[in-house]
Amino acid sequence: MKKISVLISVIILVLASKTNAADYCEIGAFVGNEDHRAPYASEVTAFEELAGRHLNTIMVYWAWNDGDFPAVGLNNGVRYHDGYDTKTVLQLTWEPWSRLGGDDSTYSLADIINGVHDTYIAQFAQDCKSWRDPIHLRFMHEMIGIEGCDNWYPWQDKPADYIETFNHVCRIFKDQAADNVKFVWAPNSYPFDVEVIKEYFPGKENVDWLGLCGHNAGEPGNGPEWPNWAWFDDIFWPLYHAYIDNPDIFGDKPVMLSEFSSVGIGGDKAAWIIDAFERIKSGDYSKIEAFYWFNTDKDGQDWRINSSPESLAAFQLAMTDSYYTSHPIPEPATILLLGGGLLSLCFVCKKRQKTIS
């Protein structure tokens, strides 16, 4: 009996030690739905059938002029579909604009800071709280423009106003006790110089996740800093290390691939996919706990997993790895002893999630 007790203690210690570093990565995607609405259940199911796995988390883009929190659409498309409760985590990419381009001043940072939109923000926070399930709120992403490119978002390249706006919105969510909302801070993968990106960082107290946002565009004309064909490490290694090598600035936060994908122009997309998912689980990116594949055909660039039979087969193969997880199961570790003997030993690592094939 003593030996069994010692064995149990050792197992518990091992499991506890694993909770300090991610040993999984959640499966997520933007499934390609149109702007101004939540994805339909059929769109979610179609992606899952292609991938061969259920989604742990789904990304939705929501501009402020799209209106209030889309609870009805999300209930129909994300939370419930095809007769089962997905318990899918929602990542809401929340954008203060009207999708009119970088010169859109409909929701200026100055107006947000001065409280013009506080009623809308507070109601949105209340609706998020009513959702009850976890929400990752990626607010004002890609806030740093790229040299030589026109700004595509109106909140870009305004570090002081950006930080004040971000923290103003965070305060309102805290005032509304929307504790299920976790804020995601996600610059583009370039530039990645710490001295540049820290000027836009709202502070460790208001950021829950650090995001990596980047794509392999795979075509000429991107400039010397963006190679025509960029592998996973080319895109993400510098910014990832800017985060993890500077915890005094960014804190010890989980990291997500908040938006990533590849086209097939200029290289082998299937090889890119295999390489990316091997790199994510390699141990070199141990802080990455979730990814979101940008699954759409946009502006003549096909980012979808099924842009070719080869790319689809590569994605499906990658998703057979149990490192990539779907729906969660309860967290607590339970040990049940009966009659002086070991009846059963059931444990669930705090961060481990159930694989659903």
Clarify whether residues 303 and 355 are in a common domain. no
> Could you tell me the two tokens for 299?
């502006």
Distances (CA, A) of 271 to 49, 62, 72, 340: 22, 32, 39, 55
pTM comes to: 0.84
Q: Would you state the pLDDT for residue 85?
A: 57
Pair 334, 258 in one domain? no
CATH number for the domain that contains residue 202: 3.20.20.80
Q: Are 105 and 153 in contact (CB under 8 A)?
A: no
Q: Are residues 309 and 338 in the same domain?
A: no
176: which residues sit within 8 A by CB, 6+ positions away?
122, 125, 126, 129
Same domain, 11 and 138: no
At 112 the pLDDT is: 98
CA angle, residues 255, 258, 262, in degrees to nearest 5: 120
Contacts of 293 (CB under 8 A, 6+ apart): 28, 29, 30, 260, 261, 305, 315
Domains in the chain, number: 2
pLDDT at 19: 38
CA angle (356 as vertex; 353, 357 as ends), nearest 5: 140
DSSP helix/strand/coil, 257: strand
pLDDT at 355: 36
In this structure, the answer to whether residues 9 and 100 fall within a common structural domain is: no
Residue 15 and residue 94 in one domain = no
Two structure tokens written together for 83: 């007769």
Question: Residues 25-61, buried b or exposed e (16+ Cβ, 10 A)?
Answer: bbbbbbbbbeeeebbbbebbbbbbebbebbbbbbbbb
3-state helix, strand, coil in the chain (%, to 5): 35, 20, 45
d(CA 190, CA 342): 55
Same domain, 13 and 74: no
Q: Do residues 170 and 121 both lie within one domain?
A: yes
Of 276, 156, 258, 256, the residue nearest 216 (C-alpha): 276
Same domain, 251 and 275: yes
Q: Are 109 and 161 in contact, with CB atoms under 8 Å apart? A: yes
Q: Looking at the structure, do residues 85 and 210 belong to the same domain, yes or no?
A: yes
Which residues on neighbouring strands pair with residue 188, listed in sequence order? Answer: 213
Q: Are residues 200 and 335 in the same domain?
A: no
The residue count of the chain comes to: 357
pLDDT tens per residue across all 357 residues of the chain = 444 343 334 333 333 333 335 689 999 999 999 988 999 989 999 999 999 999 999 999 999 999 999 999 998 888 776 555 567 899 999 999 999 999 999 999 999 999 999 999 999 999 999 999 999 999 999 999 987 788 899 999 999 999 999 999 999 999 999 999 999 999 999 888 999 999 999 999 999 999 999 999 987 545 445 557 999 999 999 999 999 999 999 999 999 999 999 999 889 999 999 999 999 999 999 999 999 999 999 888 999 999 999 999 999 999 999 999 986 543 433 323 233 332 232 322 333 333 333
Give the DSSP H or E segment for 167: helix 159-175
Q: Which residue range is the domain that position 97 belongs to?
A: 25-322
Sign of the dihedral through C-alpha 239, 57, 69, 36: positive
Helix (H) or strand (E) holding 343: strand 341-346
Q: Characterise 148 by phi-psi region: left (phi > 0), alpha (psi -120 to 50), beta (else).
A: left
Same domain for 95 and 12: no
d(CA 323, CA 149): 37
